[in-house]
Structure 1
Amino acid sequence: MDPVVDLVLRRHGFTSLNPVQSAAAEYVLSGKNVVVSSPTASGKTVVAEMAVLRALKQGKKAVYTCPLRALASEHYAEFKRLYPEYRTALSVGDFDSADAWAKDYDVIFTTYEKLDSILRHGAPWLSDVGVVVVDEVHEIDSERGPTIEVILTRFLLRGSVQIVALSATIPNAHELAQWLRAELVVSEWRPVKLREGVLHRKTVLFSDGSVAEIKGSSDDDLVAFVEDTLERNKQLLVFTMTRKNAESVARRLRPVVSRYVRSRSALRRVSEKILRALESPTSQCRELASCVADGVAFHHAGLVSRQRELVEGAFRKGEILVVVATPTLAAGVNLPAFRVLVHSVKRYGGYGYEAIPVREYKQMAGRAGRPRYDDHGEAVILARDEGQVQELFEHYVMGEPENVYSRLGTETALRFHTLALTATAPSVSQDLLQRFFSNTFYAVQYGDVGTVLQRVEGVVAWLEENGFVKVDSKVVATDLGKRTAQLYIDPFTAKSFVDYIKKPRFGEIAFLYTLVDTVELRPYPSVSRGEEPQLWQLAEEFRDEIPVDFHSWEFDDYLFLNKWKLTLILHAWVNEVHEDDILKQYDVSPGILRAYVTNAEWLAYALGELSKLLEEKRVWRYADIMAKRIHFGVKEELLDLVQLKGVGRVRARKLYNAGVRNLHDLKGADPALLAEVVGPKTAKELLRQVGRRITGPEEERMRSAALRDQTTLDMFTE
């Protein structure tokens, strides 16, 4: 037996490889490129492990890349647990870094964009990489597809790096294999048999022709299906298409699920942790905590990552019985359940409701059945009426997933990645550009790359016109072009920033609108009809500060109100408006707010870096302050205090209002006063951070002050 296979089996406690793993092992262990297309939970990760371990035994590094931070973190933790003898790293953060520290590690887990960023920075340790594993490679058909395609084309042209691409079941996996010059492993094998069907009037029509009666007491199909599942002592995942639906379905199921809860004390503990995930909980936090206490949770991008982790952990332990989620969960972390119920297969797409792709349904259905616990899993679609049953059955249950297609041909993708290609080489010839694009997935699918090369010519002309490259016989990136590529922003965004830097406006609104008016902050929040009058009224009030003339007859930005709404959201955030008030006023939940804040902070940093390059120090200083304010969500006066560990925007404001306005004030503060404001434990920690020792009498006064404060609070709440 191959020593790599032997090691994998021993660490997992397996006696043999499964059919998918066996089919791939020969190719992986001989160093060939491999594409594996198989269902969810079919053991593709073990194939990746074999490839990684082979590279490590040859003295090479391994890179494992996937779409989500959460997924990268999950794979990182699992590999570290199984193979502690290897130095394993997680690289998902700062895009403006080559992560030089990674040279000391054997395996690096990362996201697509972070790996692309590392390639742009020309990290020297990349020359030591022997294998790159690309998980969820079918995402090549998504908005992020061009990044996957460019990463893989770069490694393909290196020739010395083994490529292992893992995909969900797709009909044209052979095209991916042809592109990557790879062996193809296609399998329908699953460790747990999957039964798919359609539910209507408490009856499920399954794909094997069988019919099952749902035994729940309710006449409502959804409620009855939940009751039937919980009566069997099993768990359920419900998929809905929107965050609001996920929350409303979870609320609706609370009284039903509550009857089946086995461990209320464990759920109370999870519920309390969910409330503590934010410094000051919002109504959404309280709603989730209440649901979790009754054994049901909603799970979507509007939760902060800590809350999602708590829900996932409690579901895995069997404490939470039902999770109502949006489809992002199906594409993310490994969270199987005996049953999956797809509540709806239609989603609003801007021009009305449209059916979701079969591939997306199959991804959700693939979460049904827990290996080692269930002998089969059940995935069921809820039909709204009799007429839908056959339609859903034929299209989704019996349907084939769609082909995946290259998205590299769009102007945005070409602009972004062509600049990166020119910025990572001393110069780029027309022949080199042709060679690169001739080796893309686009070239395999469409044959003639002439069309895309014509577009590249247009993109290069635009880049030259705007100062990102110089063109002679070859294309050479300017300092502006190189820095833009390293900062991982669209050249169009960089041009907008350069325009701002040359004619700066230092007000918060003008600065924030400049950040918002970029591709990086899309998709923008939606604007309802009811919101429009107030948004226009506020636009009039801030008219002199908004850096666009929205009254001009030439003004044709139909997304202006969406951009303006996001500008106001960020403005509220940096001015310390409570997250719950932001949620109520703008309908933006903490998780979504965090995503906007993270991207806006990055853009503020990028604008600052470009102003530094252009030697505009005043703009750089302002951008630096704004980046910090966006990060912490505070006014400038609190920036000193929020640098302290354990001090967020709420606690910093309390300290400031109590007269502790900076680190100097903190060092000389009365410990008893601090204990009243933030509690004795936090007060001691803050004083320790500024090097202040506390005497015995001071500690006694701190305890007394905290006790006095609690007594006063009790009087008001009795």
Structure 2
Amino acid sequence: SINSINKHHSIIVSAPTGSGKTLVADYVIDKAINDGKKVIYTAPIKALSNQKYKDFLKQYGCEKVGLLTGDEVINPDADVLVMTTEIYRNWAITNSIKDLYYVIFDEIHYINDIERGSVWEESIIFSPNSVRFICLSATIPNVDEFASWIEKIKDHKVDRVKHDNRIVPLEVSFYDEELGITTLEKIREYANIPSYYKLYNLKEKNKIPFPNHLHLAELVKCPCLFFCFSRKVCEKNALELSKKFKKTDPEIQKFVSKKLRDGYDLSKFKSARLLREILPKGIAFHHAGLLPKLKEIVEELFAQGKIKYLYATETFAVGINMPAKTVCFEGLRKFNGVTFSSITSKEFFQMAGRAGRRGIDKKGYVIPMINRKEFSYSNIKNLTSKDTEPLKSKFKLSISAVLNLINQHSQKEIDIILENSFYTFQKKENFEVIKRRFHNLIKKLNKIGYIENNKLTDKGYFASKLFVDEIVLTEIFGTELWRNMDQYMIILAISSLIYEPRRGSKIFGKRFTSTEKGLIHNLKPILESKVENIKILAPLIFSIFEKQDFFEVCKASNFDEGDLIRLISQIMDRMNQLFNSVEDKTLKERLESSHDMLRMLIEEVS
């Protein structure tokens, strides 16, 4: 990898967790700083961006490092910039990248993500040809295909660094409620015995005892990372296990109490009180619904080896370098928003890869719990034997991409760019699909007045600086519609566009005054079905103005605190995008003051 960087080549590093991939990123950053060049490090999630920013601050100092996420901008002219991949994509599309040496894509396998995968592809396609890439992932089965694509469209050498052997090998076993920790073959053997159900007086298959995490916890070697695919299950299981322990660690107790009282009193939150109860016993939970400061407490104690059992959702496996001796799985199926389905081999090995601590463990233990009711030997065998899932294009042509293509390129250049997608590279006939989508979007944008005579109109230019909900935001804020909207109405309108309720989420109270009625009347043709969110969200958004205290605002709904912070952060992100699009001074002031109010609300608990 170092030789490749010295030759100014791009590199794709496919190597297991703990094998030193981050050293490649560290080397290129050191080299860039010494040579006075710029490097961008991108991460798939904000939490990982924040963690990397803190790491780089310690290494290089605050003058050299900057952070850009949807709701936060720190030192944007720094030599080393940490940002979410979406921010980098936005820069690339608008041709805002100058004098960049390397861009590092951590967790490049996110290109497979159905919702967001296109962001990684667009980031590579729209990057200037002078930029070089470092793509990092634990496993890329089709690394040669991916490298060949980049070589073809960027006309420079892409080196492959592929390493399949783990420094700490994994031992995969399975937990069955009757057999204990065993092999998959042994479970199949027992599941196929005809007299089995008679022997245990089980008339139906679904009467077989469900595997119990408490029984497995007694058998595993610690520290143990226990993946669950539900936040509630994480908390419930951690609390159940804590009841089995009486001894507490006074040092942890003291550490947690101090952290909870440091600044904003976090002990007011139920999740904080629950953690305060179980952490001294060496047990914890970690998920995206927690306050950032609570996640930091858990991560710090886990890194110190003070936590023996950590129940976590899969977000813990993204980038955060916190291995354990044993990784357990509550199951191998998760809810995808519609139904329950099996996790992929890539997801399994992303989580399983956290087993085994380099320099400490001779092997890492991986133990999924098996529910015989859903047992399928071949499916589980395929899933847990090897990561066979290749990188596959999820390319979607966004409206902002189309508008920027029209604004910056000739038709001939546009055809070349569209042909450069990984989607087309993987299957030549896909080019016609992309061209069709492009021309359909052009027709739509012509019809609604964003393009005229193959050039952007004022509305088209406004929308070209937005990267999500481009048309809706333009129709509200790129016209005169916003003039009758105060801060409350602006935040309510933007939040209504973003809000996607989780199962069981509730907002308490009602607020339906002439303000909300007027907003619904004005925005119904634009927001369409989303206009109903105005009525739903009004009590919550109004409480932000009325209370201006995060704990008090939380009382307006049953949202997890982390989800409320995420909603507010997304509103702030849209405001940042709008701020860069609008020219009207009054609107800029309203957006800026609204953004500042939201920032102060979540700053004290983030």
Instruction: Give the Å deviation of 1:355.
Output: 1.9
Question: Which one-letter code corresponds to 2:219 in the other structure?
Answer: D
In structure 2, the residue matched to 1:337 is 324
The change in CA–CA distance for 1:241 and 1:258 in structure 2 (over 3 A counts) is: farther
In the TM superposition, what is the alpha-carbon distance from 1:440 to its structure 2 partner?
2.2
Aligned to 1:141: 112
Would you say 1:460 and 2:438 are equivalent positions?
no
Matched, 1:238 2:209: no
Deviation at 1:333, TM superposition (A): 1.0
Partner Cα distance (2:374, 2:338) in 1 = 24
Displacement of 1:369: 0.7
Matching of residues 633-712 of structure 1 within 5 Å? 633=601
| d(CA) in 2 for partners of 1:621, 1:60 | 35
Could you tell me which residue of structure 1 aligns to residue 568 of structure 2? 597
CA distance in 1, matches of 2:531, 2:544: 20
Whether the 8 Å CA contact 2:472–2:527 is kept in 1: the answer is: no
* 1:515 maps onto 2:494 in alignment: yes
Report which structure shows greater RCO (CA 8 Å, sep ≥6). 2
131, 154, 160: which one aligns with 1:184: 160
1:485-634 mapped onto 2 (5 Å cutoff): 485-498=464-477, 501-502=480-481, 504-506=483-485, 510-518=489-497, 521-522=498-499, 524-526=500-502, 528=504, 544-548=517-521, 564-576=535-547, 579=550, 583=554, 586-604=557-575, 606=577, 613=583, 615=584, 617=586, 622-633=590-601
- Separation in 2, partners of 1:207, 1:29: 47
SS of the residue corresponding to residue 544 of structure 1 reads: helix
What residue number does 2:282 align with?
295
In the TM superposition, what whole-angstrom CA distance separates every residue of 1:337-393 from its partner, at most 9, and x where no partner exists? 001111132222333222222211111101011111111111111112376273564
Aligned residue for 1:174? 144
Q: CA deviation at 1:453?
A: 2.0
1:599/1:543 CA distance change after superposition, 3 Å? closer
Matches within 5 A, 1:249-260: 249-257=237-245, 259=247
Alpha-carbon distance, 1:574 to partner = 2.7
Amino acid at match of 2:234: A
Match of 1:416 in 2: 400
- Which stretch shows the higher mean deviation, 343-352 or 91-100? 91-100
User: 1: CA distance between counterparts of 2:475 and 2:527?
Assistant: 17
Give the partner amino acid of 1:441: F
Match of 2:197 in 1: none
Q: Secondary structure at the match of 1:405?
A: coil
Q: 1:414 to 1:469 in 2, by over 3 A?
A: same
Query: Match for 1:447 among 419, 423, 428?
Result: 428
SS at match of 1:180: helix
Query: Paired residue for 1:223?
Result: 214
Gaps of 5+ in 1: 1-23, 212-218, 635-645, 650-718
Aligned to 1:130, the other structure's residue is in SS state: strand
Give the structure-1-normalised TM-score: 0.71
What per-residue deviation string (whole Å, max 9, x for no partner) do you get for residues 549-576 of structure 1?
99x9x99966665664344432333321
Q: Look up the SS of the partner of 1:175 in the other structure.
A: helix
Shift of 1:205: 2.8
Counterpart of 1:382, as a letter, is: M
Which residue number in structure 1 is paired with residue 83 of structure 2? 110
Asked if 2 retains the 8 angstrom alpha-carbon contact of 1:195 and 1:207, the reply is no
Residue 87 of structure 2 aligns with an amino acid whose one-letter code is K
Give the structure 2 partner of residue 43 of structure 1. 20
Shift of 1:57: 5.7
Offset of residue 609 of structure 1: 6.3
1:265 aligns with 2:251: yes
Partner of residue 202, structure 2:
none
| Structure-2 separation of matches of 1:65 and 1:562 | 33
Residues of 2 paired with 1:277 and 1:244: CA distance? 28
Decide whether the 8 Å contact of 2:71 with 2:569 is kept in 1: no
Q: Structure 1 99/76 Cα, relative in aligned 2: closer, same or farther at 3 Å? A: closer
Contact 1:288 1:297 in 2 (8 A): yes
**8 Å contact 1:267–1:295 — kept in the other structure?**
no
Cα distance between partner residues in 2 of 1:111 and 1:343: 30
SS of match in other structure, 1:247: helix
8 Å CA contact 1:207, 1:398 repeated in 2? no
Structure 1 residues 101, 604: closer, same or farther in 2, change over 3 A? closer
Q: Secondary structure of the residue that 1:396 maps to in structure 2?
A: helix
Deviations 1:614-633 (A, max 9, x none): x483x555545444443345
Cα distance between partner residues in 1 of 2:554 and 2:441: 40
Name the aligned partner's letter for residue 347 of structure 1: K
Matches within 5 A, 1:29-40: 29-40=6-17
| Structure 1: distance between partners of 2:286 and 2:361 | 23
Determine the C-alpha separation between the residues in 1 that align with 2:23 and 2:354.
Answer: 18
Candidates 271, 274, 298, aligned match of 1:311? 298
What is the CA deviation profile of residues 474-517 of structure 1, one whole-angstrom value per residue up to 9, with x for unaligned ones?
x4x45544444445443223234237743654367754442134
Separation in 2 of the partners of 1:575 and 1:210? 58
CA distance in 1, matches of 2:99, 2:389: 37
Distance 1:404 1:297 in 2: 34
Cα shift readout 1:185-210 (whole Å, capped 9, x = no counterpart): 33211111111121112522357999
Displacement of 1:421: 4.1
Q: TM-score, normalised by structure 2?
A: 0.82
Q: Is the 8 A contact 1:250 1:324 kept in 2?
A: yes
* Partner Cα distance (2:122, 2:576) in 1: 25
Q: Deviations over 1:247-304 (max 9, x none)?
A: 1111111123554x5x322343224414557456322222222222332111111112
The residue type paired with residue 42 of structure 1 is: S
Instruction: Write the letter of the residue equivalent to 2:562.
Output: G
Deviation, 1:74, is: 3.5
- Sort the Cα spacing of 1:357 and 1:573 in 2 relative to 1 into closer, same or farther, 3 A: farther
- How many residues are treated as equivalent by the alignment? 574
In 2, distance between residues paired with 1:288 and 1:96? 28
The structure 1 residue matched to 2:49, chosen from 72, 76, 80, is 72
1:435 and 2:411 matched: no
Instruction: Tell me how far 1:463 sits from its aligned partner.
Output: 3.4
CA distance in 1, matches of 2:320, 2:216: 24
Deviations 1:99-128 (A, max 9, x none): 6622xx2x33322122234445655xx443
Residues 539-594 of structure 1 show CA distances to partners (whole Å, capped at 9, x for unaligned) of 699862451599x9x99966665664344432333321765565565321221111
For 2:173, give the aligned amino acid. G
Change (3 A) 1:91 1:632: closer
Question: Structure 1: which amino acid aligns with 2:254?
Answer: R
Q: Which has the larger radius of gyration?
A: 1
State the distance in 1 between where 2:95 and 2:71 align.
13
Distance of aligned partners of 1:539 and 1:249 in 2 relative to their CA distance in 1, 3 Å threshold: farther
The 8 Å contact of residues 111 and 391 in structure 2, kept in 1 or not, is answered as: yes
Distance 1:220 1:140, change over 3 A: closer
Distance 2:514 2:502 in 1: 21
Give percent identity, aligned residues only: 22
Equivalent-residue separation in structure 1 for 2:371 and 2:47 (angstroms): 34
Judge conservation of contact 2:10–2:132 (CA < 8 Å) in 1: yes
Matching of residues 80-99 of structure 1 within 5 Å: 81=58, 84=60, 88-93=64-69
Question: Quick check: 1:129 aligned with 2:100?
Answer: yes
Structure 2 unaligned residues grouped into runs of 5+: 152-157, 189-209
**Structure 1 residues 190 and 490: alpha-carbon distance in aligned structure 2, compared to 1, 3 A threshold:** same
CA distance in structure 2 between the aligned counterparts of 1:379 and 1:443, rounded to whole angstroms:
38
